Amino acid sequence: MSNLADNLFRQADANAGKTALRFEDQSFSFLQIAGQARRIAGGLASIGIGAGARVGLMAQSCPEFIFYQHAIFALGAVFTPLNVFYRQNEILHAIQSCGLEYLIVGAEFVDRLPPPGDPALGMLKSVVVLTGDEVTHAGGFPSSGRILARSEPIGVPANVAESAVGMMLSTSATTGKSKGVMLTIGNIKANYDRTPGWLGLTRNTVTLCALPLYNTFGLNQCINALMFTGGSLVLMPRFDARSCLELIERHRCTFLPAVPTMLQKILDHPDASHFDLRSIEQIMTGGAPVPSALLERIHDKIGTRTVLFTGYGLTEATALVTLDTVELGADSKIKRPASIGKVLEGMDLKILREDGLEASTGEVGEICLRGPNLMLGYHEMPDDTNIALAGGWLHTGDLGFLDADGFAYIVDRKKDVIIRGGQNIYPADIEAVLYQVPGVSEAAVVRKEDPILGEVPIAFVALRPGTSVTAEQLIAQCRSELAYFKVPAAIHFLPELPKGPTGKILRRALGN
């Protein structure tokens, strides 16, 4: 029996007065964070949230995100962070697919929700708006200030079985619409709690977090690593290259988790040479290959003792599953430039051919994983769960191979996910919006390589005869319905989209 808030309360006992979190001009000790979590947990309990309740949180990167996350943990409830760029239909789909019963939402996002009493919110028992106002109801929903004013802090956190679901993350997985990935407390302990050791993080680590807190990267390597190690976290409200430079120098940050796009922008900033970044000891990146030039620039600007890690992870496997240290060879080129590294201790990785047999060295097949980090399954989707976890292995949908030394490589994605600057995009989400536009007969979205973002979505559209729709109209529709990062970078019109013998649109024949 345990609780996902145990690490926080352990640090509050062992390192009570240590500054754990810095955010703009605020700072919080572990004891203060624990106090906030207890107080908020008392308020949430007063509206019925308890063990097993499914609670969504849509909040910006700020201390309150961490306070509310650990309050939800402390109650033994199931925590679901929502992407802050979601539009109304995306929020509602996440509520449905994760079976959320409660939603806690920042005041700046209230206008993205239907009004109280709308049938679309019918499955929710309560919506709480994050605001200190104790009297008014923001947007017609009760405020957090009002709830907290009438409650008492909890005592000890709930004792929960390690087999219980602790987090449910919304992911589109291998198909178009999002699913609720159920991660147990045991999953998180087997993966999140081991990540600091894999990366060499300690209680002396000072992490700069410019990542969004709603995804696995930020949840694991920023928040959980802080609580597990007793280090310090410098939290940014959003990524900004110059602010990163300033904060690294000011707080002598030692660990920088970031996608390659962020690293490029930090080093490309015209003022980069004015800042001392030599405190950085570790950098963790992923989501796109690391070019030799980027590592050379890191070594030139920060120093050759800085360790750059790259790896591979996915929500269905909790988080990180492979890891590699990016190094230059004698020829000044990256060793294993396309490798995602070796599978981490306690997990197994194999490559399966289409006939179900294990692939030989260098032979391409589907990457499959096994270990204590595999999800419990998709919420209320047993058929999809059985497919994903067939035979006790997670079938990732990614195609790759193993070399003779056991290093893994991804050569293609069996699934159609597009990774734009670290954000996952699923073509079906965009295509569904394009099909809403009168006159659109066929639509397909594919990835296009981008020198800054890695990949961006582009759309190919065929119109019904006699209709007239412009690219600008389609882009406007996408902007109104989708998070900004899903909006296609370009729209291309064709008389008809290419199809296979069964009439299925062939995405691979587009954009090449």
Closest CA to 165 of 373, 5, 319, 375: 375
Do residues 342 and 385 make contact, with C-beta atoms less than 8 angstroms apart?
no
CA distance 252 to 176: 42
How many other C-beta atoms lie within 10 A of the C-beta of residue 59? Answer: 23
CB of 75 within 8 A of CB of 158? yes
Residue 381: per-residue pLDDT: 95
Residue 17 structure tokens: 């007065």
Look at residue 436 in the predicted model and tell me its pLDDT.
Answer: 85
Q: What is the pLDDT of residues 250-265, one digit of tens each?
A: 999 999 999 887 898 8
CA distances from 47 to 55, 125, 275, 313, 351 (A): 12, 9, 48, 36, 48
Nearest partner of 421 among 263, 227, 204, judged by Cα: 263
- List phi, psi (to 5°) of 204: -90, -5
Q: What's the CATH code, domain 6-160?
A: 3.40.50.980
Chain-centre distance for alpha carbon 136: 33
Give how far Cα 33 sits from Cα of 26, 159, 295, Å: 12, 20, 36
Please, are residues 89 and 64 in contact by the beta-carbon 8 Å criterion?
no
- Closest listed residue to residue 19, CA positions, set 234, 163, 195, 328: 234
Measured distance CA(45)–CA(379) in Å, rounded? 24
Report the CATH number of the 418-509 domain.
3.30.300.30
Query: What are the CA-CA distances from residue 184 to residues 74, 191, 222, 255, 375 (Å)?
Result: 15, 11, 19, 27, 7
The ranges of the chain with pLDDT < 50 are 173-175, 502
- Structure token digits, residue 508: 């691979």
Strands laid side by side in the 179-184 sheet = 126-130, 102-106, 54-58, 78-81, 165-171, 179-184, 377-378
Domain spans of the chain? 6-160, 190-347+368-379+402-410, 418-509
**Is the distance from CB of 101 to CB of 274 less than 8 angstroms?**
no
- d(CA 370, CA 389) in angstroms, rounded, equals 9
Residue type at position 288: A
Pairing of the two strands 339-343 and 320-325: antiparallel
pLDDT of residue 502: 43
> In the beta sheet, which residues pair with residue 368?
350, 395
Asked whether the domain spanning 190-347+368-379+402-410 has the same topology as the one spanning 6-160, the reply is yes
CATH tag for 190-347+368-379+402-410 (out of 3.90.1150.10, 3.30.70.60, 3.40.50.261, 3.40.50.12780): 3.40.50.12780
DSSP β-ladder status, 78-81 and 54-58: parallel
Contact 58, 106 (CB under 8 A): yes
Q: Is 226:205 a contact under the CB 8 Å cutoff?
A: no
In sequence order, what are the residues at sequence separation of 6 or more whose Cβ sits closer than 8 angstroms to the Cβ of residue 129?
Answer: 105, 106, 107, 110, 137, 138, 139, 141, 142, 143, 144
Q: Determine the 3-state secondary structure of 287 from DSSP.
A: coil
CB within 8 Å of 236: residues ≥ 6 apart: 61, 208, 209, 210, 243, 244, 247
Q: What is the pLDDT of residue 174?
A: 41
Nearest to 435 by CA among 414, 462, 454: 462
